[in-house]
Chain A
Amino acid sequence: MTAGVRRLAWVGLLVVTAALLVFGSVRDSGPLTQQDRIDAITQRVACPTCDGESVYVSRAAAAQAIRAEVARQVGDGLKTDDEIVAYIADRFGGQVLLVPRGSGIDALVWVLPVVVSVALVAALASSFRRGAVATGARSRRAQLVVTVVVVAVVGVGGGVLVARQAGQRLPLQTATGGIEDSTASLLAQARLAGPTDVKSAIELYARVLETDPDNVEALTYRAWLIMLSARQFDESLRQQAYASTITALGRAIELEPGYPDAMCFLGIVVYRDGGDAKSAKEFLDRCLERNPPNEVRGMVESLAAEAAAEVGG
């Protein structure tokens, strides 16, 4: 077999291997049942309390809890497999991932084998050329530099591609570490803004209500902050704010009768802004029966006593 034929055979082998790898990585394996998905996901996650076992095989309590959570999320149908795995990894840490991530230091697991493979192929190619052509020292140096650069570019580039294709994504994580724009996050941001930046807090609650008009917390706290802000304006604006606040708090109570904050704020607003001590006392008493959180309880207890004294007098 001549050198030319051997080289052609090696190239053919490489092309076939590359084609098989590409086919294997992009082929669609078809629809999976829910149980298939649960099995596939739990096989990708390590049991956090046992050594060398996946959640799929482990009988440990923590593994069972994770399996139940995976089943629940698969049943909800709202997340992809990767997103469910990301949720588990987000809670228990990256060490529970049996398929390493395709980013950060973990990506080396994917990148390094490709780099080594390309380097080996380059070494092989170099061995074919060895002694075949007599060239000058300068030309050999240039050839060496080109080879090193090509190996580096192809190896790292190929490795990154493999990592992106095969590595575990964490789609819920952002590169900047920003807070995702979920309802829970918006509510938390509104809560933080509330005491010092009432305008922003009202806007954040309004954004929650755009997507979730029946969100009881947003209805309650937006109404409460609007009423607090309106107290510095004229009577006409205060009256408008009072009417809209009463409506919103009434809606919140209708949606969730046991929510203490709405009942408490209703009592405070009816007493302070509506001047109706009798109704206010009733609302404040109901508020205290609902075990409000301490911040709200602190506002209500003295006011309830004040309203009771006024009604009694």
Chain B
Amino acid sequence: VAVLATAVVFAALVAVFVVSDGDTDVGARSPLLGAPAPAVVTSTVDDAPFDLARRKGSWVVLNFFNSTCVPCIAEHPSLVDFVADEAGRADRAEFYTVVNDDSDGAINGFFAANGGDWPKLRDDDGAVAVAFGVAKVPETWIIDPNGFVRLRIMGAVDDGVLEAQMARLRAGDQ
């Protein structure tokens, strides 16, 4: 009986390995996926007020960023292209940088040198990062027009990834 039981468990284990297709998606896991986005009430580095709850009705992309982080710098051209691509759409996604452990001066300097005229949100005490569970930057989150979190991307995004993910989400795919 013991040998049979061991064989069954071993066979089940092999079956799991064979059937499992691995985690190859762009999106990372988060308990927030499919849930209402956390509250984000802050200001931009230009001192304009920002409340995420008031952006319902638009797709919102939040990119957690630090001007000294190498992957953040590496992905920046892809983000600039994405925002330019979205600008022509009636239902364009609103793009926001969430400043992570960085100064207004450094942020303004980086964007002046590298482009990107979208709003940059302050997160001086890290409350926004904690609310989204962001430990390392860069991370990119997509929130749908109903205010639900739809996608989390950990690490730098490659060219075309955000465009493809937005197209998939707009088409209603999960």
Contacts and interface: CB of A to CB of B under 8 A. Distances in A.
A49 B57 contact: no
A270 interface: no
B57 A188 contact: no
A68 B146 contact: no
B136 interface: yes
Interface stretch (B18-26, B28-36, B103-111, B155-163): B28-36
A298 B36 contact: no
A48 B135 contact: yes
Contacts of B115: none
A91 interface: yes
Contact of B126 (A65, A179, A293, A295): A65
B153 interface: no
Nearest to B125: A68
A188 B126 contact: no
A308 interface: no
B15 to A, nearest CB: 20
Interface in A86-113: 88, 90-93
B12 interface: no
B100 interface: yes
A91 B133 contact: yes
B57 A62 contact: no
Interface residues of B, number: 35
B110 to A, nearest CB: 17
Interface residues of A, number: 33
B172 interface: no
Contacts, number: 92
A49 B94 CA distance: 29
A91 B133 CA distance: 4
Contact of B147 (A62, A187, A292): A187
Contact of A93 (B56, B133, B136): B133
Contact of A61 (B29, B100, B127): B100
A294 B35 CA distance: 21
B31 A191 contact: no
Contact of B36 (A185, A260, A295): A185
B36 A62 contact: no
Interface string A174-205: 00000100001101100110000000000000
Interface in A57-94: 61-62, 64-66, 68-69, 72, 88, 90-93
Contacts of B126: 61-62, 64-66, 68-69
A293 B145 contact: yes
Interface string B118-150: 000000011101111111100000000111100
Interface stretch (B1-9, B47-55, B71-79): B47-55
Interface string B54-92: 111111000000000000000000000000000000111
B57 A261 contact: yes
B129 A92 contact: no
Contacts of A293: 54-58, 94, 145
A272 B61 CA distance: 33
A296 interface: yes
Contacts of A261: 54, 57
Nearest to B31: A90
Given A62-B135, A184-B39, A217-B53, 8 more contacts: A61-B126, A65-B127, A69-B125, A69-B127, A92-B133, A188-B146, A292-B57, A294-B94
7 contacts: A65-B125, A65-B127, A88-B130, A192-B146, A217-B53, A261-B54, A295-B58
Interface of B: 29, 31-32, 35-36, 39, 49, 53-59, 90-92, 94, 100-101, 125-127, 129-136, 145-148
Interface of A: 48-49, 61-62, 64-66, 68-69, 72, 88, 90-93, 179, 184-185, 187-188, 191-192, 217, 258-261, 292-296, 298
